[in-house]
């Protein structure tokens, strides 16, 4: 009898994935710029090539990147603002971000061109497996720390976790949970097309763990579209299972998300009450009761109800009050509570301001004369910050028609760079001796951000952040920048729509995601989006449109 043992084949393992690409993705998608730049240097040392192939006809890479840099330089020259050295640092930094985008997409394109499609598919698979491993490790750490099997319902530690547990699920990028959510939303659609049910459900689970309501809703719409128009019987079953995952998460694991979504929609309608709603309003004079009076009212209601219940049970006409034996009491008979109940409002979230909020409040106090929104003493419920910032951009261009074509300039109105250059620590570190804040940014989008994010944590959400690719392009690069984006970026991929499979839902997804952050400056999810779309274009290039669909 002979036995055969599995032999590790190094050559086969090396050819299974593009290890250079995998290493690049793991490093370049890292949240820190100090990791991204070495990642670019390393990948060019490993795969040295600077033949980008830009052209106005059949460009090898999206021509948008070259055009947006050109528009930035034109705006610098034509606007003729009295810029100092600090702004030149900001401007060159902004151009540097676009150059990093070009270098990254070029390496992604090289990987797709130089490898068989199955190698890139394997590379993507390994990346998602690693990301899932890191994400599950994140949730395991939280469970270990809290001692709660379901930290999404854990209300201790002043609600450090609870509804915000998903914020700590960073995955392999160590970036925000929103980045992790978007990547896994990509994964659900991609693996659904690739007919890999285990990876579909894994990506769906990680997406739900991040607790991103916006991405959940967006993916739900995409899956509904695929279910109705373009999916096989097996894929429909997987979509239904994904929906069941979502329902279980919202109902059983994190039910407080339902309340949060309802409150968010109320906020969108401007119907949210202020922070200081009265506890009771049924005093004899009709005025709100104070805190101590409210406590007495609660106690009286409790005692009356308890006495009535005892009277009914013992069939007496007079309510009898008996203190249960298990309640602690003083020698005089006064009942007291030994430990605070963490389920009551005073023990839910911290009401004190943290160091970051104090820094914002100090900034507001210094610039109060220019901050007409955040400078108000009391928060006024109304439209969400996302809507306010879009209206500010439209109003600014209406009042400054000379800037409609080219915008206000790089870093002057709406961008991650504009926030970073304030030196307030919004989007990473910045040279404190080169701080720059344009007045147009100060009185518009910065004012909106300060209004929401200097106040209670419940207002710190995507709907209140001015961050948006569309806002950035329109405000800082004008109509020419926005048109270049639509025609030469989205159009670069959309022109293949008749042959794309998972590329179509990914394209729809990214168009929605562009509303919630400055993704080009994030240097994260767009690299993965471009990899998947370029791969989908390559593998379908030789097929007729009629042969292709999600099925």
pLDDT reported for residue 80: 76
Q: Which of 505, 536, 457 is nearest to 124 (CA)?
A: 536
Cα 345 from Cα 341, distance rounded (Å) = 9
Average pLDDT, the chain: 83
Cα 351 from Cα 456, distance rounded (Å) = 7
What secondary structure, in 3-state letters, does 160-171 show? CCHHHHHHHCCH
- Say whether pLDDT at 412 is over 60: yes
Mapped onto helix, strand or coil, the DSSP state of residue 406 is: coil
b/e map 259-286, b = 16+ CB within 10 Å: eeeeebeebeeeebeeeeeeeeeeeeee
Determine the straight-line distance between the first and last CA of the chain, rounded to whole angstroms.
47
Cα 63 from Cα 325, distance rounded (Å) = 78
- Say whether pLDDT at 341 is over 70: no
pLDDT reported for residue 164: 85
Can you say how many angstroms the Cα of residue 35 is from the centroid of all Cα atoms in its chain? 21
Cα 329 from Cα 87, distance rounded (Å) = 68
pLDDT band at 324 (very low <50, low <70, confident <90, very high): low
pLDDT band at 254 (very low <50, low <70, confident <90, very high): confident
Cα 212 from Cα 209, distance rounded (Å) = 8
Cα 333 from Cα 377, distance rounded (Å) = 45
**Are 451 and 385 within 8 A, CB to CB?**
yes
Per the model's pLDDT, the better-predicted residue between 460 and 47 turns out to be 47
Percent of the chain topping pLDDT 90:
57
Per the model's pLDDT, the better-predicted residue between 8 and 113 turns out to be 113
Sign of CA dihedral 337, 341, 346, 351: positive
Cα 280 from Cα 282, distance rounded (Å) = 6
Per the model's pLDDT, the better-predicted residue between 163 and 131 turns out to be 131
Rg of the chain (C-alpha set): 28
pLDDT reported for residue 548: 44
- Say whether pLDDT at 306 is over 70: no
pLDDT band at 160 (very low <50, low <70, confident <90, very high): confident
Per the model's pLDDT, the better-predicted residue between 57 and 101 turns out to be 101
**Are 451 and 361 within 8 A, CB to CB?**
no
Mean pLDDT, to the nearest integer, of 343-352?
A: 55
Mean pLDDT, to the nearest integer, of 172-198?
A: 95
pTM: 0.82
pLDDT reported for residue 280: 41
Neighbours of 482 (CB within 10 A): 17
pLDDT reported for residue 96: 96
Q: What is the pLDDT of residues 65-96, one digit of tens each?
A: 999 999 999 999 998 776 789 999 999 999 99
- Say whether pLDDT at 7 is over 60: no
Of the given ranges (193-202, 222-231, 335-344, 373-382), which has the lowest mean pLDDT? Answer: 335-344
């Amino acid at each position: 009898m002979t036995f055969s043992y599995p032999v590790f084949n190094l050559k086969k393992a090396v050819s299974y994935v593009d290890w250079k690409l995998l290493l690049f993705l793991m490093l370049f998608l890292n949240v820190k710029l100090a990791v991204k730049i070495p990642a670019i240097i390393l990948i060019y040392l490993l795969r040295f090539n600077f033949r980008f192939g830009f052209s106005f006809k059949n460009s090898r890479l999206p021509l948008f990147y070259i055009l947006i840099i050109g528009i930035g330089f034109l705006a610098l020259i034509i606007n003729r603002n009295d810029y100092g050295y600090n702004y030149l640092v900001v401007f060159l930094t902004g151009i540097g971000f676009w150059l990093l985008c070009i270098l990254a997409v070029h390496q992604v394109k090289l990987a797709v061109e130089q490898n068989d499609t199955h190698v890139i598919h394997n590379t993507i698979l390994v990346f998602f497996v690693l990301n899932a491993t890191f994400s599950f490790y994140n949730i395991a750490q939280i469970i270990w720390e809290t001692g709660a099997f379901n930290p999404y319902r854990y209300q201790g530690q002043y609600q450090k976790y609870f509804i915000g547990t998903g914020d700590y699920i960073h995955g392999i990028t160590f970036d925000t949970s929103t980045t992790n959510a978007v990547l896994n939303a990509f994964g659900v659609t991609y693996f659904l097309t690739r007919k890999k049910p285990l990876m579909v459900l894994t990506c769906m689970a990680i997406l739900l763990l991040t607790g991103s309501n916006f991405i959940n809703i967006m993916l739900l719409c995409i899956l509904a579209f695929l279910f109705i128009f373009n999916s096989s019987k097996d894929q429909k079953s997987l979509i239904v299972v994904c929906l069941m995952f979502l329902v279980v998460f919202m109902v059983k694991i994190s039910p407080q998300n339902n309340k949060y979504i309802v409150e968010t929609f109320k906020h969108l309608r401007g119907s949210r009450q202020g922070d200081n709603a009265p506890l009771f309003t049924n005093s004899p004079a009709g005025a709100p009761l104070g805190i101590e009076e409210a406590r007495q009212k609660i106690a009286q209601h409790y005692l009356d109800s308890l006495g009535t219940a005892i009277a009914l049970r013992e069939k007496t006409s007079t309510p009898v009050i008996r203190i249960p034996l298990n309640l602690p009491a003083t020698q005089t008979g006064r009942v007291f509570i030994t430990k605070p109940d963490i389920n009551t409002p005073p023990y839910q979230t911290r009401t004190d301001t943290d160091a970051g909020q104090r820094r914002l409040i100090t900034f507001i106090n210094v610039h109060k004369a220019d901050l007409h929104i955040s400078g108000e003493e009391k928060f006024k419920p109304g439209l969400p910050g996302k809507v306010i910032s879009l209206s500010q951009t439209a109003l600014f261009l209406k009042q400054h028609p000379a800037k409609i074509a080219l915008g206000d300039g790089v870093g002057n109105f709406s961008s991650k760079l504009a926030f970073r250059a304030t030196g307030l620590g919004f989007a990473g570190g910045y040279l404190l001796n080169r701080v720059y804040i344009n007045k147009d940014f100060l009185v518009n989008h910065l004012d909106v951000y300060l209004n929401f994010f200097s106040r209670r944590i419940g207002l710190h959400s995507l709907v209140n952040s001015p961050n948006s690719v569309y806002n950035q392009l329109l405000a800082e690069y004008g109509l020419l920048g926005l048109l270049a984006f639509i025609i030469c970026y989205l159009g670069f991929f959309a022109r293949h729509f008749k042959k794309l499979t998972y590329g179509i839902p990914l394209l729809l997804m990214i168009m929605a995601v562009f509303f919630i952050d400055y993704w080009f400056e994030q240097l994260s999810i767009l690299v993965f989006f471009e990899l998947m779309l370029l791969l989908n274009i390559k593998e379908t290039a030789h097929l007729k449109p009629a042969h292709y669909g999600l099925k």
